[in-house]
Structure 1
Amino acid sequence: MHPCPIDLGGVSVLPLRGGAFRLDAGAMFGMVPKVLWQQHVSIDENNRTALACNVPLVRIGGSVLVIDTGCGDKWDAKSREMYAMEGGSLCDALRACGVSPEDVTHVVLTHLHFDHAGGLTRWADASDAGCPVLNYPRAVFFVQKAEWDAALKPSELTRRTYLRENLEPLASSGRLRILDGGAAVLPGVSVLLTGGHSPGHQAVRIEGAERVMYHPGDLLPLSHHSRPAWIPAYDCDASVSLEAKKSLFARAAEEDAIVWTAHDPAAPAVSLALADGGRGFCCAAVPLERQ
């Protein structure tokens, strides 16, 4: 079985995977009691649940766009074991479908945590973990100002997720575009500043002739997070996340949009519909597989 491109009407979205890893399941659901979330996810002996780095490859006009870049492959053995990392990088996935990293023209980063920005760079020499270089030498990169500022000056709480080796080549590339709020990236592709999960977290809206797709970033890490109050402990401002989720998900439901999940191994894309008298959303996976 292979992933099938989603046709939005003149816009093609191919689901790719930029690696897989595991995080503590309790942290993934924050204040939600275990008796509730354990009905939806399985855990290993270390209380970790499986996560994927779901990355859409978007072809629109003559442009080739990716949203986020996965974990990358710069990890040492200790880190790989800690996060149970497996699978190839986004660059591997691109090459497997006939796309070179040099073909990518635009990279939108929902935020700069390691599992979204780690694939921006690689070590210049596989034997030297001291010189990172960009994986996408021709692309233009889009990041919110609040996110860039937070990543350059990480706090004690965020220094393990904002990693310098992912950022330094970007800063000196001359191809970094710092945004300050909502903006158009390409005709048919725009970003919305949401905050919540991180200071400058942004969502992406892609509009085709027939259908719309939203990439909410880590506002929707798993399909189970379609419940507005199910918010990971990792979010820097849960109250902002809550309001952003309610607003964005309601908009997606009204537009009958496809909605991307950042980390759901089983459902990279879903549809949302209002439920519970308009207080919540029901979620259904969008079939993506073909023989």
Structure 2
Amino acid sequence: MLDLGARKLWVLEDGMFITDAGNLLGGSRRMRLRGAMHAVLVETDGALVLVDAGFGPEIPPPLADHYELRRERSLPESVRAAGRDPQEITHVVLSHLDPDHVGWALAEERVSPRATVHVQRAALEEARRMPENDGRRLAVPAVERGAGEGWLELLEGNGEVAPGIRVEVRSGHSAGHQVVWIEGEERAALFTADLAPAKIWLNPDLIAGVDTDPEAARRNRIEVLSEAEEKAAPVILYHEPRDFLVTIRRTGEGFEGVPLEA
């Protein structure tokens, strides 16, 4: 648990996935990569906020041939291990609509059925334009259903979704991709989602094959990580398997993540 004064923050797990490097880096790469899924739970004034939501109960069938999922603990179990009930969650913030970020929030049996889900309208509009069976396209029916039924809010840019929980649109990996600042009285933490999901992506020049606007990804990564360094803000790296909570330090080749001391 990370104490930010008025906000308390838990980094949760939803298991690991294994995939071909080409699925993330582009091209044909005969190498397997593994990534974690570290959602964030924040206790703030009168609200319990979940940021991103893992793969859900299972990998969507159209993607099952591309990903292997391994779990010792699911996201709902991680919420309970933090001493909270998923039913208590009041808000879910989705950084974007990739399936490994939205699963438990958009599944038929949502992890937090009483919560309002927040996602950028631009993310939905981009997902609608994606090919059939694209991961983001798969989220469209649930997002549209949620907006129609009133449990999902389509955001239009930056703003505060709960006390001290501020979303900031930083596109590049996808349209409408949002990072999340968790702001206490004197200290803030940053959830970078897929703008900088692991330590290797702290290099601004490393562009993922799935980034829809590489130049925007590079520019926004530099700006966001520079601000995190200036504020000495802890940064949560969603896909980093081990050192997923770091502070940022500038190097000659970009940035590095320094594991946060307990």
Counterpart Cα distance in 1 of 2:100 and 2:84: 21
The alignment-based identity, stated in percent, is 31
Q: 1:154 to 1:19 in 2, by over 3 A?
A: farther
- Displacement of 1:207 in angstroms is 0.8
Q: 1:77 to 1:234 in 2, by over 3 A?
A: closer
- Amino acid aligned to 2:131: E
Counterpart Cα distance in 2 of 1:80 and 1:286: 34
Q: Which moved more, 1:88-97 or 1:60-69?
A: 88-97
Counterpart Cα distance in 1 of 2:259 and 2:124: 33
Structure 1 unaligned regions, length at least 5: 35-45, 123-131
Contact 2:143 2:152 survives alignment (8 Å): no
The answer to which structure has the higher strand fraction is 1
- Of 51, 74, 85, the residue aligned with 1:100 is 85
Structure 2 unaligned regions, length at least 5: none
Asked whether 1:284 is paired with 2:253, we answer no
RMSD: 2.3
- Displacement of 1:223 in angstroms is 1.2
- Of 45, 51, 54, the residue aligned with 1:70 is 54
- Displacement of 1:81 in angstroms is 6.0
**CA distances 1:242-271 after superposition (whole Å, capped 9, x unpaired):** 000011111111111111111001122111
Structure number with larger C-alpha Rg: 1
Alignment of 1:195-234 (within 5 A): 195-234=171-210
Contact 1:24 1:49 survives alignment (8 Å): yes
Tell me which residue corresponds to 1:37. Answer: none
**CA distances 1:139-173 after superposition (whole Å, capped 9, x unpaired):** 1111111002222x142287234314643542333
Q: 1:75 to 1:273 in 2, by over 3 A?
A: closer
Alignment of 1:6-85 (within 5 A): 6-29=2-25, 47-75=31-59, 79-80=63-64, 82-85=66-69
* TM-score normalised by length of structure 2: 0.90
Counterpart Cα distance in 1 of 2:162 and 2:17: 31
Counterpart Cα distance in 2 of 1:159 and 1:26: 15
- Displacement of 1:231 in angstroms is 2.0
Tell me which residue corresponds to 1:155. Answer: 130
Counterpart Cα distance in 1 of 2:204 and 2:86: 36
Q: 1:29 to 1:286 in 2, by over 3 A?
A: farther
Counterpart Cα distance in 2 of 1:259 and 1:76: 29
- Amino acid aligned to 1:105: T
**CA distances 1:93-112 after superposition (whole Å, capped 9, x unpaired):** 21233322210011111001
Counterpart Cα distance in 2 of 1:243 and 1:78: 32
- Amino acid aligned to 1:64: L
Contact 1:134 1:170 survives alignment (8 Å): no
Asked whether 1:272 is paired with 2:256, we answer no
Counterpart Cα distance in 2 of 1:261 and 1:106: 21
Counterpart Cα distance in 2 of 1:274 and 1:158: 39
Contact 1:71 1:89 survives alignment (8 Å): no
Counterpart Cα distance in 2 of 1:147 and 1:77: 22
Tell me which residue corresponds to 1:126. Answer: none
Q: 1:94 to 1:239 in 2, by over 3 A?
A: same
Asked whether 1:109 is paired with 2:105, we answer no
Q: 1:29 to 1:74 in 2, by over 3 A?
A: closer
Alignment of 1:123-272 (within 5 A): 132-151=108-127, 153-156=128-131, 159-164=134-139, 166-272=142-248
Q: 1:111 to 1:86 in 2, by over 3 A?
A: same
- Displacement of 1:285 in angstroms is 1.6
- Displacement of 1:209 in angstroms is 2.1
Contact 1:229 1:242 survives alignment (8 Å): yes
- Displacement of 1:29 in angstroms is 4.1
* TM-score normalised by length of structure 1: 0.81
**CA distances 1:215-250 after superposition (whole Å, capped 9, x unpaired):** 111011111211111121111111110000011111
Q: 1:244 to 1:79 in 2, by over 3 A?
A: closer
